[in-house]
Chains A and B, each alone.
Chain A
Amino acid sequence: MARDDIHVGLEIGTTKVCAVVAECREDGDIRLLGVGEAPSRGVRKGEIVDFENACNCVREALSDAEEKSDVEIRSVWLGVTGSHIQSFNNRGSVVIPDEGGEITDEEIQEVEYKAKEISLPKENAILHSIIQHYYVDGQEGVLNPVGMLGSRLEANFHIIHGVTNRIQNSIRCVKECHIEVDDVVVNSLASAQVVLGQHQKESGALVIDIGGGVTDYIVYLDGAVRHSGVLAVGGDHITNDISIGLKIPITRAEKLKVDEGSAILGKSLPGEKIVLKNDTGFSGKEVEREMLNMIIHARLEELFSLLRKRLAGEVPEHLLGSGVMLTGGCSTIRGIRDVAEAVFEMPVHLTRAQAVSGPTSAFENPRFSTCIGLAKYGQAVRSEMPEDTFFGGFVKKFTGIFGIKS
């Protein structure tokens, strides 16, 4: 474990496969050593639909990263997403054996185990169980109950689960390249690691990571994960909408979205046209700017409205003191902030990975948030976990669940 301070995050995304090699220091700072990237093929809505192609992309991205960082990659923290990933909050409780006894690690483990005792669909497995709060004899807000006296320990956990086979597909894809998977991490959780600072997690924030195929979101409240999820709508949908609405090919629609698209309505001159040049430079079709913007606006507004609706019953919005953080490749669309602010009625910030240093600061682009977050998540897990503790066992158990055999 000599190179424990180097972590590699790998995200098999819908638009790109990228691998971030980062050196993580004790103080939590991240120094990027290299980012490898390959355009993604065979991935739709965050899930692999063409195994062979996806494997090649992963191979490409990893070797690119190795080349750029001059590090030999042996294992990666793998990001997973997809509409199958779901979450809920559950409370576990244990009775401390001797009345008024001391709470030990054992009880902590047991309470987590209890919280995870829920009926999931057969094909699903738990990806994360994240502690929210402990309660000792009904006393709220206990951060670390170890050593405290009590008769009853309860704990709220945020549990994220997904379909085992689909997650295994991603893992197998990496194993095909003879690379180990340290662990699988849900994308939203990874993004939040680098997008949110500790004080933002405390004051409450919603992170929305809009990628190519899916939108991952996660809510932090009082320093703990309150809610998370995936909505299988992303930048691809906007491109597809444009392609259908303006009757132009997908590739052209993608370019139009990036170059000209905006989500703000009413800012273009009436009847303003954009001339599309075709490959020969010959000016081909004309499209109406307002139409283009209307298509983008409609999609984003719907996306945000759906998210808000999903959060409605789960999270008290007025407690989100730090507002909404937008990240992911799709967050670079012009005017997206205005749409989000109009829908969520709270401040919206465009963010990217924070506290990242290194010669490659150019990579501080919202599209790499997840990937950098994966590396940071790796560092956080490893630093919390002295070797040979139950936590290590926990990770092993994980890899066991997904049938990882070297």
Chain B
Amino acid sequence: MITYPRYLDRSQTPVVRLIGLGNAGVNLADRITMNRALDIETIAINSDQQSLSSSVASTKIPLGPLTTRGLGAGGDPEIGLDAAKESLGDIEAAVGGADIVFLCGGLGGGTASGAAAMIAEAAKNSGALLVAILASPFSFEGRRRGAQAAAALHEIRGIADAVIHFENDRMAELTAPRAGVSETFSACDEILLGCVEAIVRLISAPGPLGVGLPDLLSVLDGGEGSCLFGTAAATGDNRAHEGLEQALASPLLERGRLLDDAASILVHISGPPSLSFSEVGAIMQEISRQASGNAMIHLGVSTSPAPDSPLTVSIIAKCGAASPIPAAQPPARRTAAPKPAPPAPAAAEAAPPAPEPTPPEPPTQSLLQPEPPADQPPAPPRTSPSAPRPPRPPLPEPKHAPQKIKQETLQFEPVARGRFEKIEPTIVEGEDLDVPTFLRLAGKKR
């Protein structure tokens, strides 16, 4: 049977559902239900009746009331799986009709580790796009939990369209060392939440320059590495700079240092109607400075009608995927796609990159004629017999990498000399020692 996934039909706003699975997942679902004005239906699924009863999610599904008698899976994935089998009907009913399903949970315990794969499959079968947002346990929680989490993660990678995977260890760096336990956990939740928000915004927000799910999928495609993610909102005169700064400050990005490692990066900038072209240009310039020269950058820009909405910058990339040559992950398919020349402001005008779906999308791959999100400029599809819009004029070839680096360095030198700006430089072995050592070291690494 050839299916045409519903989420590609952009005639109406997609139905987005978020499944919070297990205790961590339910927490997240609650937060989303309460805090944010996101148009998401939340479904809390847990084997622990207690956590469900206090949840405020729009739908609650007790997992395996007979198997666990509402007492939770007790850290045993087997029980979690049995419980999921028991409640499969409920789950299928809950995800039915959704266009996009986010499956959120903390791996390592019983419920999420055991049931996630089955729920993912149910969602997938219903025709929805499945994005799994998963956190693996702290290393101090023991090797056993770590192993359970790894096994579950592996399983889900086979099913889900995209897996965004965070390590709690890294997220905990977000908080001060003396912060309370609950503060740390909620900081982790906060990141997951930001991630869901960013993706929803990315998919649903209209804008002059769109990135869609295909971009997201291609960024997250392949490999076992964990996700790099940062998002931030800022207002005020200096919002572009601040927003980017804060987004890069995400511990998952290590101040942008890890961007260097990513083969493709998705950047989504949304803002009020006053969002200016030069702001976008400035942000992208900084990001491409941080990224490796070969990185594929997917840029999306959207504007919201509300004049006082903040400028948000979201960065999603995948760690450990960078290859020395731009052969990136799916090389052959990438070649035909125009690549936005990263730093040039012209990139903002350039089409967003390859919209092809990526391998973990078995049912539709061959026939997909992905339609870029409505009201966004077209991205030339790879095979474009029925491309509805004329192809873009040829883009600047993405071969400016070396030049780019040179330019950047020149630009930033005078700033970096600080108080020594106007006096005789100390140049030893061709290096200007007045420029801070750590900056020069960072430059050398690249």
Contacts and interface: CB of A to CB of B under 8 A. Distances in A.
A232 B415 CA distance: 20
Interface string A238-257: 01110111000010000000
B426 A236 contact: no
Contacts of B178: 269
Interface in A234-291: 236-237, 239-241, 243-245, 250, 269-273
A295 B416 CA distance: 14
A239 B418 CA distance: 10
B164 to A, nearest CB: 23
* Secondary structure type dominating chain A contacts: helix
Interface range, A side:
20 to 34
Interface in A77-101: 83
A243 B418 contact: yes
A191 to B, nearest CB: 20
A236 B174 CA distance: 32
Interface in A44-84: 44-45, 49, 83
A382 interface: no
A231 interface: yes
A298 interface: yes
B424 interface: yes
A185 to B, nearest CB: 23
B438 interface: yes
Contact of A302 (B174, B418, B437): B437
B140 to A, nearest CB: 13
A346 to B, nearest CB: 22
A240 B428 contact: no
B419 A250 contact: yes
A45 B418 contact: no
B437 A271 contact: no
A384 B57 CA distance: 92
Contact of B438 (A45, A83, A233, A298): A298
A45 B176 contact: no
Interface string B419-438: 11001101011000110111
B37 interface: no
Contact of B423 (A49, A239, A272, A306): A49
Contact of A232 (B173, B419, B433, B437): B433
Interface residues of B, number: 24
Contacts of A239: 419
B175 interface: yes
Contacts of B415: 244
Contact of B436 (A44, A244, A272): A244
Contacts of A298: 436-438, 441
A231 B428 contact: yes
A224 interface: no
Nearest to B417: A240
A294 interface: yes
Residue of B177, B415, B433, B436 with highest tally of chain A CB at under 10 A: B436
B332 interface: no
Interface string A284-326: 0000000000110011011000100000000000000000000
Nearest to B428: A306
Contacts of A295: 436-438
B1 interface: no
Contact of A237 (B173, B424, B428, B433): B433
Residue of B417, B418, B437, B441 most packed against chain A (CB within 10 A): B437
B367 interface: no
B306 interface: no
Contacts of B176: 271-273
A272 B174 CA distance: 11
B428 A241 contact: no
Given A44-B423, A271-B175, A306-B428, A244 B439 contact: yes
Contacts of A306: 428-429, 433
Contact of B419 (A231, A240, A273): A240
B423 A45 contact: yes
Contacts of B420: 44-45, 236-237, 240
Contacts of B441: 298
The 10 closest A-B pairs by CB, nearest first: A241-B436, A269-B177, A232-B426, A298-B437, A240-B418, A298-B438, A299-B437, A302-B437, A44-B423, A244-B418
8 contacts: A44-B420, A237-B420, A244-B415, A245-B438, A269-B177, A298-B436, A298-B441, A306-B429
Interface of A: 44-45, 49, 83, 231-233, 236-237, 239-241, 243-245, 250, 269-273, 294-295, 298-299, 301-302, 306
